[in-house]
Every structure is written in structure tokens, then in C-alpha cells.
A = this chain, B = another copy of it.
Amino acid sequence: MSDIEIAQNAKMRPISQLAEEQYGIPHEHLDPYGHYKAKLSLEYVDSLSHKSEEGKLILVTAISPTPAGEGKTTTTVGLGDAMNRLGKKTMICLREPSLGPCFGMKGGAAGGGYSQVVPMEDINLHFTGDFHAIGVAHNLLAAMIDNHINHGNALGIDPRRIKWKRVVDMNDRALREITIGQGGPANGYLREDGFDIVVASEVMAILCLATNRADLKERLGRIIIGYRTDRVTPVYASDLKAHGAMAALLKDAIKPNVVQTLENNLAIVHGGPFANIAHGCNSVTATKTAMKLADYTVTEAGFGADLGAEKFLSIKCRSAKIAPSAVVLVATVRALKFHGGIERDHLNQENLAALEKGFANLERHLKNVTQTYGLPCVVCINHFTYDSDEETALLIQKCEALGVRCVVSKHWAEGGAGAEELAEAVLEIVDHRDPGFEYVYDINAPIWDKIETIATKVYGAGGITAGAKVKEEIQRLQEHYGDLPICMAKTQMSFSTDPHAKGAPSGHTVEISDIKLENGAGFIVAIAGNMMTMPGLPKVPTAERIDIDDEGVITGLF
């Protein structure tokens, strides 16, 4: 059965019953969206924040992504279900999928096999409308910028220095670079612009870091959309008086969403910033709410541990004053063979030499987690049908040689039951070991040094470099924004900036090609290489296969 068929065969329970039964969430604080999705009221979220007890946090991260797929979301769901099976009150806390990629190549992001959150189609398509609200809030600000210029430009915005693009939740390469304002005076002033996909919007990052409505509005007001004609005075969204209306548009989007797993465990799915130019984890509100409700919270971060876990720890945990008690590092035999140099078409054949070679990637991430951050870690081999016993045995042995527990987990095929051993390994750590968590960089170090620390300590680079213009910009930002964390935008495919450098390259130089202040989100984006903020569709997009029958049953979504 395909993922969507499994999901459609799920015996879902009414979400309000489930929320009340499992976590005592009162009916009036649960805003239903249909019978199987809901939002928690902010009053309820706020009431929880006064509780002193807090559950333990488990971060699921992975090796450097490959086309073979690793299964972080699947593992997060499987592990959560398994812990619930073992009688541990565990909340799963995920990002919302981006709609656009569902029609392209990537597909949805609600887990896979027997470890999914449901209703799968709803979660992957519009869900509760959060991303639409974010898109409109973003585009309202964009419209207000051009409208302000059109009506006299009292603020003196330099139209050549507008940084605020427009967004759409669609893979649409034709909108990457456009010219707007054509057609004469009634349509405003001509200028170059472009569209990003909604998940790349700073509004998304803001929503995911905001702690309440007041903080959200303040952050929105702080957005810098560009500069005045003096080239240096920032133009804030608050200068355009846009932030109030933007916050109003996000009235419901700020509330965490609850759904359930195939095994009827409550899960929070909220927010989904890009993992390259943004921090790539679900909302602070979602994670903190989960930690107040459950004894254990299992959550994930985007891409591999070099990007996702680093930002989760350096940006989100720092901002939210939380820390994980353990890390689960997901790998697959297939992906490690890919890192060992095997082509995509040959990954199903046993190849111990390639596996051993590719293990270098896992080992580097493992050392980062355990040594750089001081966090206890379990390696999860997300099992595929073709994995040989010799291959999995080799991985277990190599991890054990490094003093780390490695568990082969079959949650994709078996659901929570297949991840019980993983759950036990995680609980063993979480309940008995104290994490010696340390931030990788001192927040008060100079911007340049913070970037350098990430590159050398996490990526294994020899150092960083940048052109004069970027160095100048770093210098300029240092004065007022020197205490912000860094959001690294680098290829997720490699520790280096070369997506083809598999395994664990080291001693390379990370060139910072651009630096960008996201003042509302509260971080500085250091860009190393070309970051795609608007994907395209492949020659045969998944959209061509997606269909719905007369009864409303969707097929072809994956």
C-alpha cells in the first residue's frame, strides 16, 4: 500500500475526544478544523506556560540528506508512537509541510509507511491555512511598499534597495526573477522583483520564533524591507504601518495545530520555515506547549544535523530557553552507501565497503552531537527492505566502537511496534543521563567569529572567507546586530559548500557569498553558495498524477 492508502485506511479518532482524553485539553480551548484537525487556543497555551514542570525534549536529526531519503519525520512519528506504546506520555512535534513541493518532486511531509500523521491529504495540502495566512501577510507588506512609492514615497524608500520580495506557495520558477509595475503610470513604478516560496518568508521564521501575540507584532514591525535613498537608513514594516494588519492576518496561524498519528497519539504540527535560509524547525509555541503537556516531546529539525540540529540548538533552543535531553541521529543503509560513492540505481545491492566509506558522514555528525554539543545520542537505522543483516551489523558495530548505541528500527513497516527498541534506547538515555549541553558559539562573539566557529567546529572546514563587500556588511551589522545568532545557508548535501562532496570532507574553505539581516526573525543569515528560495517543477510534475474521485478521495499524493 502507498503512504496515502495507509493514511486513508487509518481509524482516526475525533480530535476533540483524543485531545481531552490524552491531555485533558478542554473542548472550548480546541478550535476544530473539521473533525480531525484542530488548533489550541492561545489562552490555553498561555495557561500552560505558567506550569513549572516541563517534559523532556528529544531531537530527531539525520546524516547529510541524499536522494535515497533518510526519514526524519517518519522516525519522529515512529519513535513517538513507540514511546506511547511503552506507556510514556509522549507528544510528537513536527513542521507543517509546504504545499508547493507536493506538486513537484519532493512530495508531502507527514511521515511515511506506518509512521504518519493524519489526515495526510489535509496536512499536506491546505491544513489549517497557516501558510496561506503567512503568504497573505507577506504579500500585504509587499503591496504596501509599492503602494507607498506610488503615492509619493514620503519615506524616501530607494526602489533599487527593496529586499522584500513577494511569495507564493507553489514551485514556480518563472516567478523567481520578474519585472513589476509595467503598463504605465496607473500601475506604479517599474522595478525588478521576484517571488519566493512561502516557507522562505521571514514572516514564517517570525511566526515560528514568536512567543505570543505581542512579540509577533513587534517582530513583524521590526522587519527591514529595504533602505532609504541615503542607502543606510532601514525602512521597517512599522514605518509603513503594516505590522498591525499583518498580525491580524496571523490571528489563527499563530495557534499550534493538533492532529494524530496512525496509532491515535496526539501530535502538534505547526510552522515550517525553510531549513536553508531560515532555521528549519517547528514553532517555539508548539514545542513549548508539547513540553508542558507531555512527559516527553519528540521533535525534528530540517536537513542534516550540520544545518538542522545546529540551528535548532543555536537559534531555537537559545531563543526559547530549552534544550534536548537526547538526540536521535537517523541514517539509512542506502544513504550511507550513497555517501560511500554508490549511484542511486545500485543502492539496493549489499556493499559493505561503500557502507564503511559512507559511515564517515554519520561519524562526523555523531561527533558533532556528542562532543561539540555534549548531547547524548542514539543512532537510528531506518530500515529498508533491501538492507542486509551484514550491513546493519556493520553499522551497529561501528557505532558501538564510538560508544554510541545504534538501533535498527522498523517503524516504516511496522509503526510504533517496530520502533520499540529505539524507544527503549532513547528512554535509557533521557531518564538516566544528564546532557552536558553546550552552545557551539558564544552569542556575544563577533559575527565573523560565530560564522567561523560553525564552519570549523560543525562543518570541519579549515576556515571561512568572504569578499570585501560581504566583510564590510558584516562590519556594518556588527555595531547594532552583533548579538544575534547566525542562520547558515549552505547546501544540505555536504559538510562543505560543494553538494557533490559526499562523506565527511574536511579542511575546506567556506565562502560567505552574502550576508542578510532578518531583523524580525532575529538572526543573521550567512549565505554560502546559491540558495534556491523558489523551487521549480520537474518535467513530469507529481501534479499530473494527483487526482480526486467523485467521493472526494484523493490519489497520487505522496
Footprint of B on A, CB under 8 Å?
28, 31-35, 39, 42, 99, 103, 121, 125-126, 129, 132-133, 136, 139-140, 142-144, 146-147, 150-152, 166, 168-183, 186-189, 192-193, 212-214, 217, 240-242, 244-245, 247-249, 251-252, 536-539, 541, 543-552, 554, 556-557
Contact = CB atoms under 8 A, between A and B. Distances in A.
Contacts of A147: 172-174, 536-537, 541
Contacts of A192: 182
Contact of A248 (B33, B146, B240, B547): B547
A44 to B, nearest CB: 12
Contacts of A180: 174-175, 178
A103 B141 CA distance: 11
A28 B181 CA distance: 49
Given A147-B173, A541-B144, A547 B245 contact: yes
B151 A172 contact: no
A170 B180 CA distance: 15
Contacts of A144: 537, 541, 543
Contacts of A31: 33-35
Contact of A213 (B178, B541, B548): B548
A552 B187 contact: no
A212 B554 CA distance: 15
A143 B554 contact: no
Given A251-B548, A547-B245, A179 B176 contact: no
A82 B474 CA distance: 66
A143 B242 CA distance: 29
Given A213-B551, A241-B545, 10 more contacts: A103-B245, A126-B132, A173-B181, A174-B180, A174-B181, A174-B187, A174-B188, A177-B182, A217-B548, A245-B556
B550 A172 contact: no
B133 A241 contact: no
A248 B125 contact: yes
Nearest to A171: B143
A129 B249 CA distance: 12
Contacts of A103: 140, 143, 245
A6 B229 CA distance: 44
A173 B151 contact: no
Contacts of A121: 248, 251
Nearest to A532: B186
Contacts of A240: 544
Contact of A99 (B136, B174, B182, B187): B136
Contact of A179 (B42, B132, B139, B179): B179
Nearest to A253: B126
17 contacts: A32-B35, A34-B252, A121-B248, A136-B170, A139-B172, A143-B172, A147-B172, A150-B174, A174-B187, A174-B188, A176-B183, A177-B187, A186-B536, A213-B548, A213-B549, A240-B544, A244-B546
Nearest to A176: B187
A538 B150 CA distance: 10
A187 B194 CA distance: 11
Contact of A244 (B126, B166, B245, B556): B556
